[in-house]
Amino acid sequence: MGQDTAKPVLDREDLLTRCLGNIEFAQRILSRFRERCAEDLASLEQAAQAGDADTAATLAHRIKGSAGNASALSMQAVAAAIEQAARQGTLGSVQDDLRTLRHEWDQFLSAMGHFS
């Protein structure tokens, strides 16, 4: 898939719209996403390395949904590609996407630090 530069790492306006302008609620969503995604991302990488397509698809789906809720749109797009590949049983093709997802995660964490 590669990196999709058209999608923001953290779409602040989208998130605030989802949260009806409530910045504290938006910050809680971001905090929950940060807590859960770190573990899910590590588990996804392990599942992909082990060739466990079912677990990888489930984890990628969960990351995709959580990223969407947190307005981490570039992560959402990469996770969707990984989920699709896992469901098709082609985990061997997701290594670049996993690296991109990890990079997007790092970028998201940095962007989150500037969210207020």
pLDDT level of residue 112 (50, 70, 90 thresholds):
confident
Task: Check if the beta carbon of residue 74 is closer than 8 Å to that of residue 106.
Answer: no
Least confident among 35-39, 64-68, 71-75, 91-95: 91-95
Q: What are the tens digits of pLDDT across the range 9-46?
A: 899 999 999 999 999 999 999 999 999 999 999 999 99
DSSP label of 13: H
CA separation for the pair 52, 71 (Å, rounded): 28
Q: How many residues does the chain have?
A: 116
CATH number of the domain bearing residue 46: 1.20.120
- Angle, vertex CA 38, rays to CA 8 and CA 7, nearest 5: 10
- Confidence band of 93 (pLDDT split at 50, 70, 90): confident
Is 5 within the bounds of a domain?
no
User: Domain range for residue 59?
Assistant: 12-112
Q: Is residue 4 part of a domain?
A: no
Count how many domains the chain has. 1
pLDDT for position 104: 93
Report yes or no on 30 lying in a domain.
yes
Q: State residue 113's pLDDT score.
A: 78
